[in-house]
Structures are given as C-alpha cells and as structure tokens.
Amino acid sequence: MTAQLIDGIALSKQLRTGIAQRAAVLQAQGTQPGLAVLLVGDNPASQVYVRNKVKACHENGLHSLLEQHPASLSEAALLSRIAALNNDPTIHGILVQLPLPAHMDAHRVIEAISPAKDVDGFHVASAGALMTGTPGFWPCTPYGCMKMLESIGCNLRGKHAVVIGRSNIVGKPMALMLLAQSATVSICHSATPDLAAITRQADVVVAAVGKVNLLTADMVKPGAVVIDVGMNRNAQGKLCGDVDFAGVSQVAGWITPVPGGVGPMTITMLLMNTLQACEQASGQPAAA
C-alpha cells in the first residue's frame, strides 16, 4: 500500500484564505488583528521560526510586531515588555519564542502573558481550559494536527491514537485533543519499554519526539494515519521528521511529509488563535 499524503501546505493555504477574509472584516470594523512576537537571543532556528510567523501575519492581513532582544536581556525587563503588551490595545496575541536563555524562568515568563492574549496556548489557564474542555487557546502544533485529521475525514471515536512524546507544547495537549474526540489514547515516551508493540496497535500515530527514524515501517499497522511532528536534520543535513517516510509510506494509509506537513499548519493555527483573540477583544462571538 502507498499512503496518501496529508498536504500541510495546501491545507494551510485553504485555511489562510478564510483567515485573511476574517482579518479584513475586523480591519473594516476598525481593528486590525495584531500579534507581538518576542525573541530573546540569537538561536538560529528560532530566528527562522519567528521570521516565518511575522511573514505569515503580513501575508494574511494581520499586524505584527517583532521584538528582538539580546540574550543578556534580564527577565525583569522581559516581564516589563510583556506587561506593556498586555495593555496595548493594538496587540491581541503575544508570543514569546522558546527556548529562552538559561537565566530566565520560562514558566514565569509564560504566566506573565495575559490569558486573553495567550495565542501559543502555553499559559496554565489555557492548559487548564483544554484539560477541562472549556473555551481557550489551543497550542498551535497539536491544533494543526487535529485540523489535518479533520481534513481527511478521520473520525477518531473509538480509534486507538498513540502519541509519542509528552511535552507541554505537543505531546500532552495532543493527547487531550484526541481524547476529547473520543479516541482511546496512549502516550508513549523515552521510558516506554516496547514502543513498537504499542504503535502497532494504533489507528493514528503522532510522532513528536525530535529523533530521526523513530518510527519505522515495522512499527505501523497497515492503513494507519501517521502524523509527523518532528523537525530534524538527517546525517546529510536534510530536513526530516521523526518518521522514516520512505518506509512508513508503504504501510500507512495517510502520512504527513516533512517539510510541508505539520510545520505550516502550526503557523496557520497561530494566525487562527490571533484572530480568535482579536474577535474576542472586539466582543464578537467565537468562530469555529
């Protein structure tokens, strides 16, 4: 069997058309949705990520403010910038790019963001909302994965979904989103003794570890849906995910590529969350 591709670029394009339309409506009503992106230090990967986020804002009618600070910035100074942005009516979403320099407490920094502007969905208030099934911002990467599953008409009810990875950014929120759709969810991680025995039972596998060739063809049930959140460089320096794409695509029913899969969807959902924040700030009812 050769898997069908879940094309994150095509799906993003379609969703971004709707986002640009909603942004135009808000702007016509006098409020352009605005996202502040804060980068501390000179991590090259983070620089690429924030540049792509800012570019996506401009291409879809959102205003963006990029603040680049030296790694020597004090935590107090960063907290004071966040406080100012919390009170800035032109800014509806605040994103602090992670990782932060070692002298900063990332948890304290994230908690300083107003939950109403937490478009990354990392604040404890957002995590609690997801946990309890109440309205709130969902972290962009797992949210994008859910949109990809929806795009192929995957009904998760009663399916076994296996999430590999337990980060606060992807693994844990991903598991909660799948659970909310009535999947039976397993969360696997570095201490899971026989990963393959569990992934072989999966109707849906989400690989979010950051390890090349973590998931190989022998670990996948024929016809399964495979979502690859990994973003790695292989021995040849080529961008690749956690999934052995060549092998697994011979077994799976659906598969996401890297690049061109989850990556663009993460940015799309960030735009979606920023629109949602703006609509809520403008007193509009939440859109789907």
Q: Which residues belong to the active site? A: 53, 97, 120
Stretch that binds ligand GUN, among 71-79, 90-98, 153-161, 209-217 (CB under 6 A): 90-98
- The answer to whether 95 contacts ligand GUN (rule: CB under 6 A) is yes
- The answer to whether 98 contacts ligand GUN (rule: CB under 6 A) is yes
Q: Which residue is nearest to ligand GUN (CB)?
A: 98
Stretch that binds ligand GUN, among 82-90, 91-99, 190-198, 218-226 (CB under 6 A): 91-99
Give the Å distances, CA to CA, from 162 to 22, 121, 186: 34, 22, 5
- The answer to whether 97 contacts ligand GUN (rule: CB under 6 A) is yes
In the region spanning residues 159 to 178, those forming contacts with ligand GUN, defined by CB under 6 A, are 169
- The answer to whether 120 contacts ligand GUN (rule: CB under 6 A) is yes
Question: Using the rule CB under 6 A, which residue among 19, 96, 219, 240 binds ligand GUN?
Answer: 96
* Coil/strand/helix, residue 43: coil
Tell me if 206 sits within 8 A of 227, measured CB to CB.
yes
- CB of 199 or CB of 273, closer to ligand GUN: 273
- CB of 110 or CB of 162, closer to ligand GUN: 110
- The answer to whether 110 contacts ligand GUN (rule: CB under 6 A) is no
Which residues lie near ligand GUN (CB under 6 A)? 95-98, 120, 140-141, 169, 266
